Amino acid sequence: MLVMLEVEEQGEIVRCVEIEAGDDDTVEAAAVRLAAALDFELEEVLEDLAVNGQPLHRHHKVSHYGEHGYRWRHRHRRIRVVVFAPRSPEPKVFFWRKNLLVGEASKSAAKAFGYVGGNPGLQTESTPPLVLDNRKTLEAEHVHCGAKLELVDSGGGVNGSR
Amino acid sequence: MVPAEETRIIIESEFVGAQAWAGRHGLSLTWLSEDLELRLPLIQAVTQTEFYLRGHFDNYRAVAPEWTFTDPAWKEVGRLCDAPKPAPTQFGASIFIQHVNRAVICVPFNRLAYSENTGPHKDWGAASKWMEAAPQFVQAVTMGDMLQVICRDFFVTRGRMGAA
């Protein structure tokens, strides 16, 4: 059967993927493929997975929930962040976990834009911009869903450091 | 020597990103293709004083560009009165320094930071090695990234480095 997974974010469906699943497949086996299609982590998907309001259990078979249909719902806890880079005219969109460190998010964004090395950081779009602390989580740095950030090198200046 | 036409082709590809960056920050970039010169007027947030950032890209990318603050006519370079007074940043020391009574933007992507061009850094080797120099400090290897770093430290400055 065809299993459809809708990803809900702040009450809205933001993504939708489909996979083919067999009657004997477990929810976990189906979730592995759904997670891969979404580029999410398996545990993250299983954390909040339901069909027609009924929570899905990883060890049950997919067919166990057949009476509810095969339109599954995952309320994900990631935040959608739009990242700009000074070298590119177009931004890129990332779905990051709230507890991801800013430093890790920066590195992942920098890599996506083709940066090699350096000390990637992220700054807000405010005037003047505020460079986020690489050691804190996105949540701790008040990065909300839909936030727009910009890559900036967070390496120190040379004066007085030699 | 890098032929000027080759530099123009490289710059034109980088300028698209730099221009988008400037637009996001409400800044107005001017690229003088004939002179391989970039101009960016900047206003200091606290004092509302205007500064004039100029980049010269001859021989780019074989050597780092030449970044300086100039007078309003975009001619005089390195004068303390044309440069912002450095202030500590959240990353440590400012990139704006005074060296032999001249204002220098002290970053690996500025050829004027190298001792072979009267800058303070003998330890960075030749300006042709700019993309590998001082990796522990701030880095930028495209026009947009360089502007971002310079403005990062500019935004926290207050006043001028020296009197006119």
Query: Residue A157 pLDDT > 90, yes or no?
Result: no
The CATH number covering residue A96 comes to 3.10.20.90
Q: How far apart are CA B77 and CA A130, in angstroms?
A: 30
Q: How far apart are CA B75 and CA B82, in angstroms?
A: 11
Q: What is the pLDDT of residue A126?
A: 87
Global pTM?
A: 0.82
Decide if B148 and A152 are in contact by the 8 Å CB cutoff. yes
How many domains does one find in chain A?
A: 2
Q: How far apart are CA A153 and CA B135, in angstroms?
A: 11
Residue A126 lies in a domain: yes
- A46-74 confidence digits (pLDDT tens): 989 999 999 999 999 999 998 888 999 99
Q: Of A23, A57, A75, which closes a domain? A: A75
Q: What is the pLDDT of residue A9?
A: 80
Mutation pick from A87, A106, A162 vs chain B, by most beta carbons of B within 10 Å, is A87
- B32-86 confidence digits (pLDDT tens): 999 999 999 999 988 999 999 999 999 999 999 999 999 999 999 999 999 999 9
Decide if A158 and B139 are in contact by the 8 Å CB cutoff. no
Q: What is the domain range of residue A36?
A: 2-75
Which of A89, A125, A159 minimises the CB distance to B93?
A159
Q: Are residues A86 and A146 in the same domain?
A: yes
Confidence band of A128 (pLDDT split at 50, 70, 90) = confident
Q: What residue segments make up the domains of chain B, in order of their start?
A: 4-154
Residues 6+ apart with CB under 8 A from A32: A42
Cβ atoms A20, A2 nearer than 8 A: yes
The ipTM value here is 0.91
Rounded to whole angstroms, the maximal C-alpha distance in chain A is 70
Q: How far apart are CA A46 and CA A57, in angstroms?
A: 8
DSSP H stretches of helix in chain B: 4-24, 143-154
Residues of B in contact with A84 (CB under 8 A): 20-21, 24
